[in-house]
Amino acid sequence: TLLTFGGAWSNHIYATAAAARHFGFNSIGIIRGEKYSPLNATLSFAEKCGMQLHYLSRTEYRQKHEDHYQQKLKQQFGNVYILPEGGSNALAMRGCAEIVGEINSEISKPFDVICCASGTGATLAGLITAIDTGQEAIGFSALKGGGFLNDEVKKFLNRKDPGTNWRIETDFHFGGYAKINDELIEFLKEFQSRYDIPLDAVYTGKMFYGLFKLIEAKTFKPGTSIVVIHSGGLQGNKGFNL
């Protein structure tokens, strides 16, 4: 049984529920805040996948990663494997490192830059471990004050020299996590109209917006080959009525 944590619109809860169903695990989701009625698109999907949902007050939820609280969860739910909020740990980082090999097998020539949206830093850390010298990884923070992600990535990397071929862009959060405005909504609509690719408002939309701004500012040399990872989360748009 997998047990993990998230808010009511958590992409991680959504993905864990789907993976548990696919691979035949039981799953439990500890959800921050009061129960939604009716369930939103994320929690409704999780429940349909067989995930048991349990709700915690925001005060109690803050204790989720403390040892005494995790022992309490194990007493309550039995023999569970606890995944941290966002699924970010050393194993997740190793899994994200494999993305680079998969991408390389799909493209004809090596990329120069690889981009991802960043919430915890684990995806970016995984990419950093897998790219070659001369390639660069860029994370786009979905949170206000995303500078802390530099330290989080270094913790995940856990090496003396974290390297200089990566960075985190912190100026494209639109006011904070899950904050949006008319400019971002217009960008999402225009992007889908032009490329027929939907983006989510919390992560990938802000990443692509930021990347386009960097390109407009001539941050990259002409001819730079850029790979961008679309990490899903489209069901979250229903929370904004998009």
Name the residue ranges covered by the structural domains of the chain: 2-86, 90-240
Q: What is the architecture, at CATH level 2, of domain 90-240?
A: 3-Layer(aba) Sandwich (3.40)
Q: Tell me the three state secondary structure of residue 239.
A: helix
**pLDDT tens figures, 164-201:** 999 999 999 999 999 999 999 999 999 999 999 999 99
Domain 2-86 and domain 90-240 have a common topology: yes
Q: What is the model's pTM?
A: 0.91
109: which DSSP letter? Answer: S
Q: Tell me the three state secondary structure of residue 8.
A: coil
Q: How far is CA 49 from CA 5, 22, 33, 70, in A?
A: 16, 9, 21, 24
d(CA 39, CA 223): 47
* CATH 3.40.50.1100, domain 2-86, yes or no: yes
d(CA 65, CA 179): 26
**pLDDT tens figures, 96-122:** 999 999 999 999 999 999 999 999 999
pLDDT of residue 36: 79
**pLDDT tens figures, 215-230:** 999 999 999 999 999 9
Q: Tell me the three state secondary structure of residue 115.
A: strand
d(CA 119, CA 44): 23
d(CA 110, CA 132): 10
